[in-house]
Structure 1
Amino acid sequence: MDPSFRVLLVCTGNICRSAFAERLGRAWVDETLGEGASRLQLSSAGTRAVVGSGMHPDTALVLAGYGADSGNFRARQLTADHLADADLVLTMTRAHRRDVLSLAPRGLGRTFTLREAGALLDFVDGGSERGEGDHAARARGLVAALAEARSRRPAAGDDDVPDPINQPLETHSEAGQLIVDALLPLLRRLAGAS
């Protein structure tokens, strides 16, 4: 079995939110895990991707403010194969989650909005990812605990990261902050499974 744990980030065009999350997450993982970074892989795709396009310039500017680089990023269209390969699917909105589940209905237990998954960490004790097996098995244990915790979380007002496309730079910055606030604590827990 593959020893890496794979996170797939999904938005609409794959040029703003999911692209930002992928590149920010990769930078964090590389810095935090060093030589072990390959154990935690991040990728992204869009439900209606602007295939082959680079990251939106305003999103890339916000990303640079967090010390990460958009590099040679290219948008790609979400496929059922991407979903089958992912251990955890994080969508930017509830509508994206519905789109993902229409392609992969059996993926409910590993598909969350990013903000939902971040909030569910409060309902999962730190022991869920500290068990038997390799890093990937322990990280999958955290995902299973997040899925189980859904029933204990009160109904949320808004689990979406709003789309900043065709909006001012401040909107890209706000979306970036929402992503940072949810993604980094989740990556810390997944990395802790190491």
Structure 2
Amino acid sequence: MTAKLKILLVCTGNTCRSAMAEALLRRILHERGYDHVDVASSGVAACDGVAASPGARAAMAQLGLDLSRHASRALTWEALVDADWVLAMEHVHLGYVLNLAPGAAYKCRLLGEYNSSGVGEDIPDPFGQPPEVFAHCADRLASCLTAFVERELVSGSRPQLALASDHHGVELKGALVGEAQAMGWRLVDCGASGSEAVDYPDLAWEVARLVVRGRVNYGILVCDSGLGMDIAANKLPGVRAALCHDVGAAEMARRHVDANVLVLGAVGVSQETALEIFRVWMGASFEGERHAARLAKLSRYEALIQSLASNSRSRS
């Protein structure tokens, strides 16, 4: 089952722009029957529990929306990595987001990119301004949010494959992206994109969560040895990541354990071999039967571990 899509809207204090945007987006989605989407907002400099500004409440009231129960939330790393889309009001907010969670870059956008000109522009803060400024801000938010929904949720094709690498695997990931596109796979590239050092757990998590939430069918991860990515991805319940060094292992990973994430090492395996491993892995199918019963046991163990962890937290 596909989990709910999560959209996070970000501004400064979470009392004006992102608060209004949250209310507007909820209505836009409801009008289109998108009830499987969760919408939240937060601020890069917000304090928890502050009410929406009077100007924001008044502007939304003019549109039949109620912000009386809104309470601001400070932006957290957990909220960023849990979101499927992050929409920021200004370039400075986008920079803050990417500094806090570099692995989330692929899913972060400036909301102003969805204006009619297609040029990314900041949506200015109306805080302390007269009602007409709030009304104009609300109009801009509604226009950009409507365009976002039409472009990304209505017209967009669901990707089938998510790829990520650390800085050691960028070159191999680039070759894998090209190969996947040549094979006709729709994909999302979660990074990294350069030689600057990044942390493999962040990138492994992004791909793993896309897989277990049903956003993509499969994930591909690359680091220097593959070991770090493999361990990190398998921390997420529902992920069956397989580190494969040859085509035989790749085929067995799909046929016997129904692996949903392929992990490759950029060191020790030639690019040609890695691409062949990828092709074999993507072409193989799960055999089911006795293997399905064994996977069911793994799922029960995962559920047991989660239950034990939950009970431990409740007692502490």
* TM-score, length basis structure 2: 0.46
Give the Cα–Cα distance (whole angstroms) in 2 for the partners of residues 73 and 188 of structure 1: 26
1:102 aligns with 2:74: no
1:23-172 superposed matches below 5 A: 23-33=23-33, 37=35, 39-116=36-113, 118-119=114-115, 156=119, 159-172=121-134
Q: Tell me what 2:16 maps to.
A: 16
Give the Cα–Cα distance (whole angstroms) in 2 for the partners of residues 89 and 58 of structure 1: 24
Q: Which runs of 5+ in 2 are unaligned?
A: 157-316
* Aligned AA (1:18): S
1:50 Cα deviation (Å)?
Answer: 3.5
Give the Cα–Cα distance (whole angstroms) in 2 for the partners of residues 42 and 17 of structure 1: 14
Bigger drift between 55-64 and 79-88 goes to 55-64
Give the Cα–Cα distance (whole angstroms) in 2 for the partners of residues 174 and 50 of structure 1: 26
**Larger helix percent:** 1
Give the Cα–Cα distance (whole angstroms) in 2 for the partners of residues 89 and 13 of structure 1: 16
Instruction: Assess, with a 3 A threshold, how the Cα gap between structure 1 residues 4 and 42 changes in structure 2: closer, same or farther.
Output: same
Equivalent position to 1:173, from 129, 135, 138: 135
* Aligned AA (1:179): L
Is the partner of 1:51 in helix, strand or coil?
coil
> CA contact under 8 A between 2:14 and 2:43: conserved in structure 1?
yes
Q: Tell me what 2:147 maps to.
A: 185
1:113 Cα deviation (Å)?
Answer: 0.9
* Aligned AA (1:106): G
Give the Cα–Cα distance (whole angstroms) in 2 for the partners of residues 169 and 111 of structure 1: 30
1:2 Cα deviation (Å)?
Answer: 4.7
> CA contact under 8 A between 2:111 and 2:145: conserved in structure 1?
yes
1:193 Cα deviation (Å)?
Answer: 6.3
Give the Cα–Cα distance (whole angstroms) in 2 for the partners of residues 7 and 26 of structure 1: 10
> CA contact under 8 A between 1:18 and 1:44: conserved in structure 2?
yes
> CA contact under 8 A between 1:15 and 1:50: conserved in structure 2?
no
* Aligned AA (2:46): A
Q: Tell me what 1:131 maps to.
A: none
- State percent identity of aligned pairs: 33
Is the partner of 1:184 in helix, strand or coil?
helix
Give the Cα–Cα distance (whole angstroms) in 2 for the partners of residues 67 and 167 of structure 1: 21
Q: Deviations over 1:114-160 (max 9, x none)?
A: 011x14x98xxxxxxxxxxxxxxxxxxxxxxxxxxxxxx7xx4x610
> CA contact under 8 A between 2:55 and 2:127: conserved in structure 1?
no
Is the partner of 2:32 in helix, strand or coil?
helix
> CA contact under 8 A between 1:40 and 1:191: conserved in structure 2?
no
Q: What is the RMSD computed on CA atoms of the aligned residues? A: 2.2
* Aligned AA (2:4): S
Q: Tell me what 2:286 maps to.
A: none
Q: Deviations over 1:23-66 (max 9, x none)?
A: 11112222331xx51x1111000001132011111111111222
Instruction: Assess, with a 3 A threshold, how the Cα gap between structure 1 residues 99 and 43 changes in structure 2: closer, same or farther.
Output: same
Give the Cα–Cα distance (whole angstroms) in 2 for the partners of residues 188 and 69 of structure 1: 24
* Aligned AA (2:135): S
Bigger drift between 101-110 and 184-193 goes to 184-193
1:177 Cα deviation (Å)?
Answer: 1.3
> CA contact under 8 A between 1:6 and 1:85: conserved in structure 2?
yes
Give the Cα–Cα distance (whole angstroms) in 2 for the partners of residues 67 and 191 of structure 1: 24
Instruction: Assess, with a 3 A threshold, how the Cα gap between structure 1 residues 50 and 172 changes in structure 2: closer, same or farther.
Output: farther
Give the Cα–Cα distance (whole angstroms) in 1 for the partners of residues 150 and 70 of structure 2: 24
Give the Cα–Cα distance (whole angstroms) in 2 for the partners of residues 2 and 53 of structure 1: 33
Is the partner of 2:139 in helix, strand or coil?
helix
Give the Cα–Cα distance (whole angstroms) in 1 for the partners of residues 105 and 153 of structure 2: 22
